[in-house]
Amino acid sequence: MLKNFFKALIKANAKEASKGFSLLEIMVTITIMTMIMGAVGVGVMGYLDKSKIKQAKIDIGTISNALDLYKTEFGRYPDSDDGLSRLVEEKILKEKKVPQDPWGNEYVYIYPGSNNEDGFDLYSFGPDGKEGGNDDITNWEDD
């Protein structure tokens, strides 16, 4: 008796499975999935922008520490002309080249600096890649 029940159940499921989906069901499913992906994408992009800003701040801190180490070792900061490449040449920065900011631009190094009590200005132009505006990330302002 149980055997017949399972045969009937399998047969009923096989008939249902062979029907497939209608075009309307597929369109509704795709629309819902698109809306969900759009909402998730907007949220993720916001976090991506914030993480790039945090990375730039961390990079500026790391480069500032390397500049302080350079000053300790050589008695002065590198000139603006030498720039950050001196940190790589003297193997104070472990990278093989001067790092770029998260947006692919060079960090700006000016010595002697005019904005910072530490003696040098170090900054990124931020997401827009242009000097000025409210998105520049510097070593002289705490956000």
Q: Tell whether 143 is covered by a domain.
A: yes
The Cα-based distances of 70 to 24, 73, 77, 86, 110 in angstroms read: 68, 5, 6, 9, 15
Q: Does the structure show a pLDDT above 60 at 110?
A: yes
Q: Does the structure show a pLDDT above 60 at 102?
A: yes
Q: Tell whether 115 is covered by a domain.
A: yes
Q: Which of 19-33, 44-58, 124-138 has the lowest mean pLDDT?
A: 124-138
CATH number of 135's domain: 3.30.700.10
Q: Tell whether 49 is covered by a domain.
A: no
> How many structural domains comprise the chain?
1
- Percent of the chain topping pLDDT 90: 1
Q: Tell whether 111 is covered by a domain.
A: yes
Q: Tell whether 83 is covered by a domain.
A: yes
Note down the domain range covering 125: 56-143
Q: Are 65 and 72 in contact (CB under 8 A)?
A: no
The pTM score is: 0.66
Q: Residues 4-15: pLDDT tens digits? A: 765 665 665 555
Residues 43-66, buried b or exposed e (16+ Cβ, 10 A)?
eeeeeeeeebbeebbebbeebbeb
Q: Tell whether 92 is covered by a domain.
A: yes
Q: Are 84 and 95 in contact (CB under 8 A)?
A: no
Q: How far apart are CA 121 and CA 109, in angstroms?
A: 6
Q: Tell whether 38 is covered by a domain.
A: no
